[in-house]
C-alpha cells in the first residue's frame, strides 16, 4: 500500500470553504479503483491547516491517480487557495496495525 500524508496551508479567507473547494477532487479520487481512502482532517490548533491522509493499493494505482484528469485539474485550480506548497510524506507500507497502547477491550 502507498500511504501518503500531506499538510495543506490554506489561505485563511478560504479555510472554512476548503471542504467544498476540494470536494470534486476528493470525490473523484475516492471513486478510483485503486484508492483505499482519501480523507481530510482540519487542525484543531490552526484552522487554516488541513491534513490529507490517503492510500492507494499499489504503484499502479498511485500512477493512475497522478495521471488522472481530476488530479491535473486539482493541480491547476487548488494552488490559488494555498498559502504555501504542501508538505508530504509518501511511503510504502504493508497496511494498518493496531495501536496497542490504546487497545479497546
Cell 476548503 found at: 18
Can you give the pLDDT at residue 15?
Answer: 98
Q: Is residue 99 part of a domain?
A: no
Domain tally for the chain?
1
Q: pLDDT tens digits, residue range 13-32? A: 999 999 999 999 999 999 99
Q: Yes or no: say if 9 and 83 are a contact pair by the CB < 8 Å rule.
A: yes
- Mean pLDDT value across the chain: 97
Confidence tier at 33 by pLDDT (50, 70, 90): very high
Output b/e per residue, 24-53; b: 16+ Cβ within 10 A: ebbebbeebebbbebebebeeeeebbbebe
Cell numbers linked to 94: 504493508
* Residue 105 pLDDT exceeds 90: no
What is the mean predicted confidence (pLDDT) over 80-102? 96
Q: pLDDT tens digits, residue range 42-78? A: 999 999 999 999 999 999 999 999 999 999 999 999 9
Q: Is residue 105 part of a domain?
A: no
| Structural domain of 41 | 2-93
CA diameter of the chain: 47
Amino acid at each position: 500500500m502507498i500511504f501518503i500524508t500531506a499538510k495543506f496551508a490554506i489561505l485563511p479567507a478560504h479555510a472554512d470553504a476548503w471542504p467544498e473547494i476540494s470536494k470534486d477532487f476528493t470525490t473523484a479520487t475516492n471513486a478510483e479503483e485503486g484508492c483505499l481512502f482519501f480523507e481530510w482532517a482540519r487542525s484543531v490548533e490552526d484552522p487554516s491547516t488541513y491534513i490529507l491522509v490517503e492510500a492507494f493499493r499499489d504503484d499502479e494505482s498511485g500512477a493512475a491517480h497522478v495521471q488522472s484528469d481530476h488530479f491535473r485539474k486539482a493541480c491547476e485550480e487548488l494552488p490559488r487557495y494555498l498559502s504555501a506548497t504542501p508538505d508530504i510524506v509518501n511511503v510504502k507500507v504493508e497496511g494498518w496495525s493496531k495501536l496497542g497502547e490504546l487497545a479497546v477491550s
